[in-house]
């Protein structure tokens, strides 16, 4: 009975907060063809995108390259592994046979996997290390295989990061996310068999905090009698806080049933969670995209093949936005969603014949709600 009451309350909150008269319009910014040339992507491969102030940064892991575009789709910067990309990149010319004015520079990426961009257009790329540079960690019982390349706004390498910071000798385990805060702090999320490990660096790439994000950092009285899994973490852009999305399950005889999902706010300075809130129920579990500003928490949940639902929580047990994201009616092969600057949602949508870079101006909804 208690569980039924909680579910009904969550559904009531979800229904009362939904604004059916508000709809986010998807805007297609530009499209990219499939191929191996400078402004093309590997067919139907997973790529990552980050957007800041209208500039789109896209990495292609298969071709080991990073591309920077403006909002019109003009290629402004290209970093590429010379061994994995065709020589046409080096001799690319425009129509009047003069050299192209885009910045193309070789860089020895191995397999870039994540990207983040600071407000001044400095950017950070998580990359896989050569096999000879990987090491075993007794602490986390896994191989340490990753590094983070830190670049200035012009694409010049500043340093490579290890666990200790600038010129750190110890690699990271598999990197699942990197984030840049408003003060140019860099937050590196890694996965280990013992839990997620978060490294927080200042603007000079000095290590400030290392957090093992397992269930021991959650308030034990709130998770007693449940099986709790930590799903995703995201950093506040304004303060040293982490937001932890968790899923609860209960044991019912031989079955394990989903119970609820929650968000915890973990204050890094205090080393404890300072508040929590439940996430409204949906047909599919919500995914934590990221946090805009201090505590605008963005979550999405798939509704069907061409629609997601966007939920923005404001950190005070309120739902600021609850609205559908229409992806379009074309057959979608792959979808990569990202939270860009100013709270704008961006995406790479892979179709059978091309990839489309799009955005939804969710920042306008937040302004309307204030």
Alpha-carbon span 345 to 285, nearest angstrom? 19
Residue 302 lies inside a defined structural domain of this protein: no
Question: How far apart are alpha carbons 356 and 358 in whole angstroms?
Answer: 6
pLDDT tens, position by position, for the chain (370 residues)?
Answer: 333 333 434 444 443 444 444 678 899 999 999 999 889 999 888 889 999 999 999 999 999 999 999 999 999 999 999 999 887 665 454 444 444 556 899 999 999 999 999 999 999 999 999 999 999 999 999 999 999 999 999 999 999 999 999 988 899 999 999 999 999 999 999 999 999 999 999 999 999 999 999 999 999 988 888 899 999 999 999 999 999 999 999 988 788 899 999 999 999 999 999 999 999 988 899 999 999 988 899 999 999 888 999 999 987 778 888 999 988 877 898 999 999 999 999 999 999 999 999 999 988 877 654 4
Look at residues 64, 171, 183, 170 and name the one whose alpha carbon lies nearest to residue 115.
Answer: 64
* Domain assignment of residue 277, yes or no: no
Report how far residue 42's alpha carbon sits from residue 63's, in angstroms, rounded to the nearest whole number: 7
The secondary structure of residue 217, as a DSSP letter, is: G
Contacts of residue 29, Cβ cutoff 8 Å, sequence gap at least 6? 56, 71, 72, 73, 357, 358, 359
Residue 162 counted as domain residue: yes
Looking at the structure of the chain, the number of domains it has is 1
Per-residue model confidence (pLDDT) at position 9: 41
| Backbone angles phi and psi of 92, in degrees to 5 | -60, 130
Asked if 61 and 45 touch (Cβ cutoff 8 Å), the reply is yes
How many Cβ atoms are within 10 Å of 22's Cβ, its own excluded?
14
Q: Where are the alpha helices (DSSP H) in 208-361?
A: 220-223
Residue 362 lies in a domain: no
Q: Would residue 72 count as lying in a domain?
A: yes
Residue 197 lies in a domain: yes
Does a structural domain hold residue 101? yes
Distance CA 179, CA 181 (A): 6
List the beta bridge partners of residue 34: 41
Residue 309 main-chain phi, psi, to 5 deg: -110, 135
C-alpha to C-alpha distance for 342 and 87, rounded to whole angstroms = 38
Q: Where on the phi/psi map is residue 315: left (φ > 0), alpha (ψ -120 to 50), or beta?
A: left
What domain range includes position 69? Answer: 61-211
Which residue from 224, 215, 219, 125 is spatially nearest to 175, judged by alpha carbons?
125
83 falls within a domain: yes
User: What is the predicted pLDDT for the residue at 315?
Assistant: 73
């Amino acid at each position: 009975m208690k569980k039924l009451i909680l579910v009904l309350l969550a559904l009531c909150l979800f229904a009362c907060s939904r604004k059916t008269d508000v709809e986010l319009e998807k805007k297609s910014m530009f499209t990219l063809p499939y191929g191996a040339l400078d402004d093309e992507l590997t067919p139907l491969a997973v790529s990552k995108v980050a957007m800041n102030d209208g500039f789109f940064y896209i990495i292609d892991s298969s071709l080991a390259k990073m591309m920077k575009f403006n909002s019109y789709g003009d290629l402004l910067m290209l970093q590429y592994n010379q061994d994995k990309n065709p020589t046409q990149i080096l001799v690319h010319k425009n129509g009047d046979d003069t050299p192209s004015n885009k910045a193309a520079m070789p860089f020895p990426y191995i397999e870039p996997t994540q990207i983040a961009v600071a407000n001044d257009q400095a950017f950070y790329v998580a990359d896989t290390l050569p096999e000879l540079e990987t090491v075993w960690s007794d602490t986390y019982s896994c191989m340490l295989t990753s590094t983070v390349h830190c670049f200035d706004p012009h694409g010049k390498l500043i340093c490579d990061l290890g666990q200790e910071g600038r010129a750190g000798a110890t690699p990271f385990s598999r990197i699942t996310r990197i984030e840049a805060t408003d003060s140019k702090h860099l937050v590196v999320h890694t996965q280990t068999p013992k839990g997620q490990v978060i490294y927080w660096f200042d603007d000079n790439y000095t290590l400030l905090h290392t957090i093992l994000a397992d269930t021991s950092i959650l308030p034990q009285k709130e998770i007693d009698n449940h099986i709790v899994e930590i799903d995703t973490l995201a950093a506040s852009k304004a303060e040293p806080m982490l937001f932890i999305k968790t899923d609860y399950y209960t044991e019912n005889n031989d079955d394990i049933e989903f119970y609820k999902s929650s968000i915890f706010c973990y204050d890094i300075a205090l080393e404890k969670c300072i508040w929590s809130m439940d996430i409204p129920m949906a047909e599919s579990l919500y995914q934590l995209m990221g946090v805009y500003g201090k505590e605008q928490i963005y979550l999405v949940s798939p509704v069907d093949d061409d629609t997601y639902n966007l939920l923005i929580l404001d950190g005070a047990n309120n739902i600021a936005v609850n609205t559908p994201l229409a992806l379009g009616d074309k057959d979608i092969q792959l979808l990569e969603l990202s939270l860009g600057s100013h709270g704008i949602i961006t995406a790479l949508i892979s179709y059978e014949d091309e990839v489309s870079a799009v955005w939804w101006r969710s920042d306008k909804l937040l302004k309307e709600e204030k």
